[in-house]
Structure 1
Amino acid sequence: MLLFACAPLHMRDLRLSGQWQIAIVVGLLLMPLLMHRPLFNLSKFHGVIYCTPVYLVGMLTSLHWKREISALALRADASFGIFFLHPLLIFVIARHGLLPVTGHAAIDFTLWFTAITALSYILTRMFEKAFGAQSRRLIGA
């Protein structure tokens, strides 16, 4: 209920420039990584702080849905290549000891997931450029 009571504040966020919107959402998304969910929903304000970033992401996504859909469509074209290449990248990165280690499991996982996904995507696009239509036979994309 408190989350929806903050709607006027969220509407002000929607009127900000895109850079400010992204900065606010990214800043707020870091908070749930560093805090736990409110136990048994006892602390309502804690719940608002914990859930607001996801609520804002939903609002911004619906506001900019065309850009989001086109970006997702680009990634969807490469999805099988990413699926095919990511285990190989994990193996190579782990074998060379290049795992991110910050001491915080959530941050390590976020860095690891982002790096593997980005590298898989880049490699998929490189295969597509290098091999054209034959890339589908090599990596499925």
Structure 2
Amino acid sequence: MIHAEAAAAATQFSWPTIAAPIAVVIAAGIAGLVATRNGRKSPHENLKMLVDIRAELDSSTADGEPSLDAERVVDSSIRTELAKLKKLNTAHGRGRFAYFREWLSQASPGDIGYVALQAFFALVGVLTVVNLFHPF
């Protein structure tokens, strides 16, 4: 009789023991998203930085002549950023999936890896929660 009660007590569902690890994983995911978003520059910030560099090149010329190569490089970078912004805005007008596809085409390999890692951990989290209710 005592053994039956002990076995029943060990298999009872306990929310606090499940909620704490899930809350930690969710909090870590939110912290990671915020840290990553704060660490990245938006296309508008990149464009502003390039325009500021271009203005600085115009104002601080050595011997009265700016370096033509530096101007060409900055002007080319500004055109590239403007083209990226135009593509993103156009894709945004077509819908979320089109925007995501365009963002993915412009993303660096680190950004793509980050999204893949988030998807992996989300899948692991879902499988963990499902496993708690229905063990495999």
Q: Could you say which TM-score interval applies, normalised by the shorter chain?
A: under 0.3
Computing the radius of gyration from Cα coordinates, the structure with the larger value is 2
Larger RCO: Structure 1 or Structure 2 (Cα < 8 Å, ≥ 6 residues apart)?
Answer: 1
TM-score by length of 2: 0.24
TM-score by length of 1: 0.24
